[in-house]
Chain A
Amino acid sequence: MQAALALPILAVCAKAGAAEVGEIGISTLGYKERGLMRVIEPVLWGRAQIADVWEVQASAAVDIITGASPELVTNASGRPVQSITGASVVDHRTTGDLKVTRRFGDFALSASHAQSSEEDYHSKAYGLEGRVDLDQKLTTLTAGFGHSDDHVGSSIDPTLDAPRRTNEYLFGVTQVLSPLAVVQSSLAVSRGKGWYNDPYKLTLTFYPDQGLPVLASDRRPDHRDSVSWLTRLRRHFPQANGTLQADYRYFRDDWGIRAHTLEVAWQQDLGERFAVRPALRYYTQGAAGFYSPVVPRPQPEILSSDQRLGAFGGLSPSLRVTARFEGGLVVEATAGYVVDARSLRLGGGGSEAFETLRAAYGLVSVSHTF
């Protein structure tokens, strides 16, 4: 997704100091889960300021996804476990977005469009965002509206072409706290309606009384309303030549999911050219009200055994090295590890059927400012 809440105050300062009017970059992500999916994702992006009052940002990416995805949760062995069925997944997803911003003094208005296409999912999204700088650009208020019009298909059911429409509303405030600190807090409200079932997920349940087993398709509510509240803090420490970066997000939806995400990073300068950034991301969520790894009796109308809707937690340490060269060339390399497990849920109570996910990723990006 396009990160839209750029900080105009800092952008203006950076431009004034370094005469920066644009940037182009390319990055490539390699992601591999143990025993499951592999993803390669090259991303090309750019932004340019034109005639002082216009800014254009654009990006394009391709996801190349291969491997296996868990499709069936069954208790045939006595306890519910995930199993991988069907052929290996091979999919390509192409995505692109464009955002145009026009400044009118202390006010800026942006319009954006994003679209993506893969074999079984197509999405078109539009956004409008207004920003106003107050108090000599120490405070920035942001309000945005977004609409996405998606279509869900299935590679195993060519007749499936179901719509999903989402409206999003964003309110944010960015505040310079001191010459060394800035904080931003934003609230995004999303209201979605349409098809949320996962056509590839099944639940097969055997009962102890030897009755006939039941095979249930994934059935979810036809709507999803959610709230995401994101707060980000940046604090520089000149004596240490380092910057603390902390992001916290609270998420809740009307499926019953409550989630917290906290990422803390420290970027340390090593001389004028190099920097290292160790980071730790922690995630925890509660289960959706209709999540169950077995089909209860009587069978409910909505039910999903997709463990992404279960209760679990995740830890992801990462390390980034940045090198800045003369002429505006920047090279970044990031290596990270992800482990999601029921035992990592905050306060315990992770879903018993949740199977630990382990993944590693590497990300290299090269950008040039001009």
Chain B
Amino acid sequence: MRIGAAWILAAVAALLAGGCAPVAPYQRGYLARPDMALEENAGTAKALEKTFAAKEAASGGASVGGGGCGCN
């Protein structure tokens, strides 16, 4: 498992460090598409994140300052 995580970390680092090409502002039309957004709309994101967090031990990663819940 640790080896898998290390490979993914290495791949992300490679993408961030050297895998990018220059992108002029006029080339960013596709990046502005709604399905390219990293976040879903706030209603969907909140509802689904809490649904899974209530049944799993892991949560978070995308933001800070969100507070907790009883989640029984």
Contacts and interface: CB of A to CB of B under 8 A. Distances in A.
Interface in A187-232: 188, 190, 198, 200, 226, 228-232
Given A258-B1, A334-B44, A89 B67 contact: no
Interface residues of B, number: 56
A243 B61 contact: no
Nearest to B60: A228
Interface string A12-48: 0110010000010111010100000001010111010
B43 A365 contact: yes
Nearest to B22: A138
A234 B47 contact: no
A81 interface: no
Given A179-B29, A236-B36, 15 more contacts: A25-B42, A29-B48, A41-B50, A91-B70, A114-B67, A116-B69, A121-B68, A146-B65, A176-B20, A228-B61, A229-B9, A229-B61, A231-B12, A232-B38, A251-B57
Interface in B39-72: 39-52, 55-70, 72
A31 B51 contact: yes
B48 to A, nearest CB: 7
A205 B26 CA distance: 67
Majority SS at the chain B contact face: loop
A125 B66 contact: yes
B19 A3 contact: no
Contacts of B66: 1-2, 97, 114, 125, 127, 146, 148
B70 A121 contact: yes
Given A17-B29, A69-B72, A236 B42 contact: no
A187 B56 CA distance: 19
A5 interface: yes
A236 B15 CA distance: 16
Interface residues of A, number: 126
Interface string A235-260: 01010000101001111010101111
Nearest to B70: A121
Interface stretch (A100-108, A167-175, A293-301): A167-175
A10 B23 CA distance: 13
Contacts of B3: none
Q: B27, B38, B41, B63 — which one has the most chain A CB atoms within 10 A of its CB?
A: B63
Contacts of B30: 179-180, 236, 238
Given A124-B67, A236-B30, A5 B49 contact: no
Contact of A363 (B31, B35, B44): B44
B58 A10 contact: no
A308 B63 contact: no
B63 A1 contact: yes
A166 B68 contact: yes
A59 B46 CA distance: 9
B70 A285 contact: no
A150 B65 CA distance: 12
A357 B44 contact: no
B67 A125 contact: yes
Nearest to B51: A31
A55 interface: no
A35 to B, nearest CB: 14
A177 interface: yes
